[in-house]
Amino acid sequence: MPARTRQRRHTALAGLVTLATAAVLSLAVSPPATAAGTWTETGSDRADPLTESQGLTSVEVPANSPNRYTGIGTIPLGVSSRGWNHVGDPDASYNGYYIEPYQRDSGNSKMYRVQAPGGTWSEYVHTLGPGEALNNSWDAVSPDGQWMLSGEWGTMTRLLVFPTPGINAATSPSANLPQVSTVRLDHAVRDVQGCDFAGPTTLLCSSDDPEGSLFGITKPLLQIDLSAAPNGSSDVTGHVTALRQLPLRSSCSGGFEAEGIDYDRRTGILRVIVVSPGFCVLTDSKTYKFSRG
């Protein structure tokens, strides 16, 4: 979503949370649906609108780490005061580095905030290339830890590949984080809000596509099969498949928003955040869980 539109939504969320302190709603609960294709819905958890509404990731190191979420309420004041007012869907490497993608309303750069396993934070700024969109909705770290994928808002036929900040020796907080290669998609995608590696050459992605013209369904769960694992030196192709529509259930009617995604390789559980429309953003937004059928 464009940065200004996202900021207006964040402001509205803060106001709705204040109103909700005096409100109690009786929710109609729908039973889980059976997923088409390869994924079956197995349950859901409420997604807090301020701290769990943008993205999520499972963390393998250290052992027994809790899942991590992002939302407007997770942005540190010292970060937002410098204009980085939107955080997207994060990811964590298999050796414990945690990376959050940030954007601001204007300018020519985007930022990735990295927490090392020891707890130290650092920031890596990427200067936009020619024609590159300003938004920064998600990041996904390759299983070998060396490469990080990221995407752009709107209708796109590519994903961007960077050396993983904080892990790849070619990166430094004091230097520009360069785009080193591209994933060339064989089918256009729209408004991708998150992707995660389910294997060395397989991505699962959540799309907030409101139109449905690309795959015949709105808000699709996508799978992208790469021709090779990203290596930073050459482009790879990606075959795109729409697996199913994400769940769109709420006590309120209106437009839903598909958000971040996480595949936990330890459990095989796939989780996707779907934010409910209107006032129900406060009450029945969900993190849906899926298992491979």
pTM over 0.95: no
Q: How large is the average pLDDT for residues 164-185?
A: 98
Exposed (0-12), middle (13-18) or buried (19+): which is 130, by Cβ within 10 Å?
A: exposed
pLDDT recorded at residue 2: 53
pLDDT in tens, 92-130: 999 999 999 999 999 999 999 999 999 999 999 999 999
CA-nearest of 179, 79, 168 to 126 is 179
Whether residue 257 is predicted with pLDDT greater than 80 in this model: the reply is yes
SS3 62: coil
User: How many other β-carbons are positioned within 10 Å of the β-carbon of residue 208?
Assistant: 23
Q: Specify the pairing of strand 181-190 against strand 236-245.
A: parallel
pLDDT recorded at residue 13: 53
Distances (CA, A) of 122 to 59, 113, 168, 283: 18, 6, 14, 34
pLDDT recorded at residue 32: 36
Q: How large is the average pLDDT for residues 265-287?
A: 97
pLDDT in tens, 130-154: 999 999 999 999 999 999 999 999 9
pLDDT in tens, 23-54: 333 333 333 333 345 899 999 999 999 999 99
134 and 128 Cβ atoms separated by less than 8 Å: yes
CA-nearest of 212, 245, 226 to 140 is 226
Domains of the chain listed by start with CATH number: 3-292 (2.120.10)
Distances (CA, A) of 177 to 22, 37, 109, 113, 116: 46, 38, 10, 12, 17
CA-nearest of 187, 282, 286, 188 to 246 is 286
pLDDT in tens, 105-114: 999 999 999 9
CA-nearest of 57, 67, 49, 36 to 10 is 49
pLDDT-derived band at 184, boundaries 50, 70, 90: very high
Report the chain's terminal Cα–Cα distance, integer Å: 31
Rounded to 5 degrees, φ, ψ at 244 are: -175, 170
Interior/surface letters 170-201, b for 16+ CB within 10 angstroms, e for the rest? ebeeeeebebbbbbebeeebbbbbbbbbbeeb
